[in-house]
Amino acid sequence: MTNHLRHGFLLGVSFGLLLSTAACSSPKQEAGAAEENAVREADIQWSKTAGTRDLEATISYYADDATVLPPNAPVATGKQAIRAVWAPMLAPDSSISWEVTKVEVARSGELAYVLGTYQLASKTEPDKGKLLEVWKKQADGKWKVVADIFNSDLPLPGPPAKTK
């Protein structure tokens, strides 16, 4: 190797590493806040969609292989089973909505979880509770829900407490 060749080579290695450092870290860190907003916005839109009682539009927020874990019922995996879980929650006599309380996105920007609270207005079975959703960015760049679970804040219905 001539001196010039060696000099050029080392300069090139530095430049190459510099290039890749830029490509490898900063965009991901910047992506953090943008992805967090994207998931939060998607969740807000999802609650609004459920408010319109449009079952198919509500179900469209799930990935094809998503899992829903409804209280007092078995696990529902896939769109068909998930549709059956959602249908009664979108009945004309009830109204469901929820709010995000926390969003955290993985540094890699493709996996996130959401904590939130929900309200179910209903004459027969009003309810309020909490939820945990896992969102995953799909191949087309859209965020979809891959796992969704919720439960009530209200005490279990049962016989009135005995007083001795």
Residue (of 88, 64, 62, 34) closest to 149 by Cα position: 62
C-beta of 25: minimal distance to a copy of itself in Å? 9
- CB closer to a copy of itself, 57 vs 134: 134
Residues that bind a copy of itself (CB under 8 A): 1-2, 4-21, 24, 28, 67, 69-75, 102, 104, 106-111, 113, 115, 117, 130-132, 134, 136, 146-147, 149-158
C-beta of 23: minimal distance to a copy of itself in Å? 8
The answer to whether 147 touches 67, Cβ cutoff 8 Å, is: yes
C-beta of 9: minimal distance to a copy of itself in Å? 4
95's CB contacts (< 8 A; 6+ apart) are 51, 120, 121, 122
- CB closer to a copy of itself, 54 vs 126: 126
The answer to whether 121 touches 95, Cβ cutoff 8 Å, is: yes
Distances (CA, A) of 144 to 16, 122, 140: 36, 28, 11
C-beta of 54: minimal distance to a copy of itself in Å? 26
> To the nearest 10°, the Cα dihedral for 32, 99, 156, 164?
100
- CB closer to a copy of itself, 69 vs 81: 69
Residue (of 146, 145, 139, 124) closest to 50 by Cα position: 145
C-beta of 82: minimal distance to a copy of itself in Å? 14
- CB closer to a copy of itself, 75 vs 84: 75
